[in-house]
Amino acid sequence: MLVNLSYGLPTMVLCLLFQVMLLIYTFRYYLDHQDWMKRSSVWPHFLLISIVMLLLVIGNLGQIAIWSMLFIYLGEFKAFNVAFYHSAVNFASLGYGDIVMSEKYRLLGALEAVNGVLMIGVSTAALMGPFKDSFKTTLSR
C-alpha cells in the first residue's frame, strides 16, 4: 500500500499542478476574449465557451497521459495506447475491468479515479463561469 501511495500521491500533485496551469491559461484566454460576449449574436458566445471547454478537456486528457506514463514506467503496460485507455477508464471512474493491473499496483487505479473525479469536478466548476456570463449577457438583451 505504501508503494502505491508513494507513486500515486506525487502523481496526483503533478496532475493538480498541470490542471492549475491550464486553468490559469484558460481564464486568461477567456478574459482576453470577453469582447466576444458583447456581440449580439449567440455564436461568438458559443465559440468562446467551446474553446474554454476544449482547453479543459485537453487538461483532463493530459492528466490521463500522466497516469499512463506512470503505469508504463512501473511496467504495468508496454504500449501507450493500452495504458492510456486503462487510465481513461480509471480517470472517468467507469471501471470497465476489461484491463486490470497487477495486485501490486491495483490501488493506483483507485487513486487515479479519485484524482479524476476531483479534476473533472474542477473543470466543470471552471466552465460554469463562462456559461453564467454567456447566459446573463444573452438574457439581458
Please name which of 50, 89, 68, 75 lies closest in space to residue 14, comparing C-alpha atoms.
Answer: 68
| Alpha-carbon span 50 to 106, nearest angstrom | 36
Amino acid at 113: A
pLDDT in tens, 28-87: 999 998 888 777 788 888 899 999 999 999 999 999 999 999 999 999 999 999 999 999
| Alpha-carbon span 44 to 33, nearest angstrom | 10
Half-sphere exposure (Cβ direction) of 16: Cα atoms closer than 13 Å: 9
> By CB neighbour count within 10 A (0-12 exposed, 13-18 middle, 19+ buried), where does 102 fall?
exposed
Residue 88: band (very low, low, confident or very high) from pLDDT cuts 50, 70, 90: very high
Cell of 22: 491550464
pLDDT for the residue numbered 130: 85
pLDDT for the residue numbered 137: 78
Amino acid at 125: A
pLDDT in tens, 99-111: 889 999 999 999 9
pLDDT for the residue numbered 117: 95
- Specify the residue for cell string 486490470: 100
For residues 114-129, give the mean pLDDT: 93
Q: Which residues contact 141 (CB under 8 A, 6 or more apart)?
A: 40
